[in-house]
Structure 1
Amino acid sequence: MSVVQTENLNIAAFDHMPSPEEIKARVPMTVPANAAVVAGRKAVMDILDRRDPRVFVVVGPCSIHDAEAGLDYARRLKKLADEVSQTMVLVMRVYFEKPRTSTGWKGFINDPFMNDSFRIDVGMERARKFLLDVSEIGLPTGTEALDPIAPQYYGDLISWTAIGARTSESQTHREMSSGLSTPVGFKNATDGDLEVAINAIISAAHPHSFLGINSHGVSAITRTRGNRYGHVVLRGGGGRPNYDTVSISLAEQALTKAKLPRNVVVDCSHANSWKKPEYQPLVMKDVAHQIREGNDSVVGMMIESNLVAGNQPIPADLSQLKYGCSVTDACVSWETTEEMIRNTDAMLRDVIGKRERRA
């Protein structure tokens, strides 16, 4: 009797994927980019440790699909970052991977040509090049870690990492976060549950051992030291926002009960704005007002922003894409972004230095 095949029954092909080492050789780190990454990480860590009274703001497109428009955005953001540096550290939101409830475009790495060719090898190299270019402009970058292998390819160019609402409960992502070299923000679950994020912070702070790959692309037992820079990101959920003073107070109490630092980041988008980008300025204004009134737990905010307001479907003819407009969630325009950031800077300028600092 012959042996019946029992594996790879639903696998169509295994295509070659360059190793992290190969991709990094093609797109090597530079001194200016490295300086921006190191400075960005230090700034965010100092804010989380309360050595820096400012807040960090992760701001940028819902997803990157056009490198040219993305770099246009980055250059504008760098000028704005320099302008408001007394009160805020601006981190460019650079999201390459998009989680999907069912189907849809999965992002720049998975399908860089936006035509279902799924050239992940090309997407990974282009993603690294984009991060390098943004870093050389002098901006720190933040991204969502979705694929547990991807950080090996470009993690050296990231200053802040988010774990999304759909993956904060995932053991794989908690283990991965324990080994990341950046601070990690864990979002509350889509139903609004905060305990998921708090448990994730606790888990990621401890050492873990798990199956991964090394820089040569070879399977390896990955052993981590633990990441003490986990923190909560409030993004709303369960049919209501959670950026109000009561919700933030409850988050503070939950963190204290868990013996964790009272570090809270507020996502001005998603359920906190009912997925209506025009509400994001109202959320940011409310949070800035809480800081002005003495709140010392809010250490950061997130904004979904692009050159052009709104979003657009991906057309069959990609030449018809509107420049600088999101192909995923709707964003606020660049002009609105400038107004939001400048208004927040004005609200915080005379109070930011009074926030609690630690030696």
Structure 2
Amino acid sequence: MAQVTDLHVTQNIPLPAPALLLNEIARSPEQAEFMAQSREIIRNILNGTDPRFLLIVGPCSIHDTKAGIEYAQKLAKLAEEVKDKVYIVMRVYFEKPRTTVGWKGLIMDPKLDGSDNIPEGLRQARTFLRQVIDCGLPTATELLDPITPQYIADLISWSAIGARTTESQTHRQMASGLSMPLGFKNTTTGDLIAAVNAIKAAGKPQTFLGVSEQGVASAVTTSGNPDCHIILRGGDKGPNYGADDVATAIEYLTGNGASDAIMIDASHANCSKDDKKMPAVYQEIVRQRAAGNTKIIGAMLESHLVAGNQSFPQPLEDLTYGQSITDKCIDWATTETLVRETADKL
């Protein structure tokens, strides 16, 4: 008989059921309470009842959990210092979208050696999230694979759908069932239409194919996620963080019946992926907010212990501690300065 299946599949390794992993690395009652509170604060910022500025800040990706925890400990102290004006949520990104190929994140390749031990990556991700929460920090991530949320979403305060997947029906359906507030980025071309349509679609009930907590393929029906908003991240035609760009976005969101709460990403195309330009972009975002534009509810910053990034792959022993292996980040000293300036100006 002719072979018609698995012609290009070399392995198919079952994952532990989500319920088993959640039981193995369980959230404590205190952590569950913290998650509920942090999500409610973010919802209140989105709807304007909490006047604080929402700042999503942290490494482009987590590849070294030791350096990640050192960063979290520093950030927790800074967050406490500015908590009356700025609500800080740490970027904890475990999945990285790739235009062609490359390291796809801690969940996919936790050993950074191409072994792709996904069960170990999921365990490391849950363990790391618990450690960050125990520092007193809410968590933020981009959800890329639609199965991933079953393993880590209970420990995420805010999530994003990236520029490459905002147009994806699969991700809009997934977002409709998530329990946390969520931002849709404009597309890599700079298009706002897809993000607005995504916000509207994710706010509606959906039924789609998914995976249950027992790891069984299932039909998932959702009630819709009312806490979705847009993220301006620039595009191929240039940045979109200026006052005119923001005004255009507000008009478009309002005209289409979508939430006009706007978050602006100071990295990616808004700074041409140049960490040296990122501070000025961020300062302009804060300037607009301080000048009275409360529709700008927050910003995103890529920040690590050491500025810039380093090439990868390379021998792990040669990696610079605390420096990104994906996009360029600003360093810790610059982060402290920017966050303190934000609190002062607001």
Query: Which residue does 1:34 correspond to in 2?
Result: 32
Deviations 1:300-356 (A, max 9, x none): 1000000000111235421111110000001000000001111111110xxxxxxxx
Per the normalisation by structure 1, the TM-score is 0.95
Structure 2: stretches of 5+ with no match in the other structure:
none
Question: Does the aligned pair in 1 maintain the 2:187–2:194 contact within 8 Å?
Answer: yes
Deviations 1:219-278 (A, max 9, x none): 110111100111000000023110000000000000110112210000000010111111
Question: Does the aligned pair in 2 maintain the 1:268–1:301 contact within 8 Å?
Answer: yes
Query: Which residue does 1:129 correspond to in 2?
Result: 127
Secondary structure of 1:246's aligned partner: helix
CA drift at 1:93? 0.3
Query: Which residue does 2:46 correspond to in 1?
Result: 48
Residue 300 (structure 2) pairs with residue 305 (structure 1) = no
Query: Which residue does 2:250 correspond to in 1?
Result: 252
Aligned-partner Cα distance in 1 for 2:3–2:32: 49
Query: Which residue does 2:104 correspond to in 1?
Result: 106
| 23-32 or 97-106: bigger deviation | 23-32
Per the normalisation by structure 2, the TM-score is 0.98
Question: Does the aligned pair in 2 maintain the 1:194–1:251 contact within 8 Å?
Answer: yes
Pick the aligned partner of 1:84 from 82, 85, 98.
82
Pick the aligned partner of 1:345 from 336, 343, 346.
343
Pick the aligned partner of 1:158 from 152, 156, 159.
156
- What amino acid maps onto 1:244 in structure 2? G
Query: Which residue does 1:357 correspond to in 2?
Result: none
Query: Which residue does 1:19 correspond to in 2?
Result: 17
Deviations 1:191-222 (A, max 9, x none): 10001100000000001001110111111101
Displaced runs of 4 or more, over 3 A: none
Pick the aligned partner of 1:147 from 145, 148, 159.
145
- What amino acid maps onto 1:94 in structure 2? V
CA drift at 1:294? 1.2
Question: Does the aligned pair in 1 maintain the 2:96–2:103 contact within 8 Å?
Answer: yes
Question: Does the aligned pair in 2 maintain the 1:60–1:303 contact within 8 Å?
Answer: yes
Residue 91 (structure 2) pairs with residue 93 (structure 1) = yes
Alignment of 1:144-293 (within 5 A): 144-293=142-291
Q: Percent identity?
A: 46
Aligned-partner Cα distance in 2 for 1:184–1:315: 32
Aligned-partner Cα distance in 2 for 1:140–1:292: 24
Question: Does the aligned pair in 1 maintain the 2:228–2:259 contact within 8 Å?
Answer: no
Question: Does the aligned pair in 2 maintain the 1:57–1:89 contact within 8 Å?
Answer: yes
Query: Which residue does 2:57 correspond to in 1?
Result: 59
Secondary structure of 2:230's aligned partner: strand
Aligned-partner Cα distance in 1 for 2:219–2:290: 47
- What amino acid maps onto 1:232 in structure 2? I
Aligned-partner Cα distance in 1 for 2:283–2:13: 49
| 201-210 or 19-28: bigger deviation | 19-28
Secondary structure of 1:36's aligned partner: helix
Query: Which residue does 1:335 correspond to in 2?
Result: 333
Deviations 1:263-302 (A, max 9, x none): 0000000010111111111111111111111112101100
- What amino acid maps onto 2:331 in structure 1? S
Aligned-partner Cα distance in 2 for 1:108–1:277: 23
Aligned-partner Cα distance in 2 for 1:47–1:316: 42
Aligned-partner Cα distance in 2 for 1:316–1:57: 32
Secondary structure of 1:277's aligned partner: coil
Aligned-partner Cα distance in 1 for 2:39–2:10: 41
Deviations 1:95-116 (A, max 9, x none): 0000000010000000000000
CA drift at 1:161? 0.6
Secondary structure of 1:83's aligned partner: helix
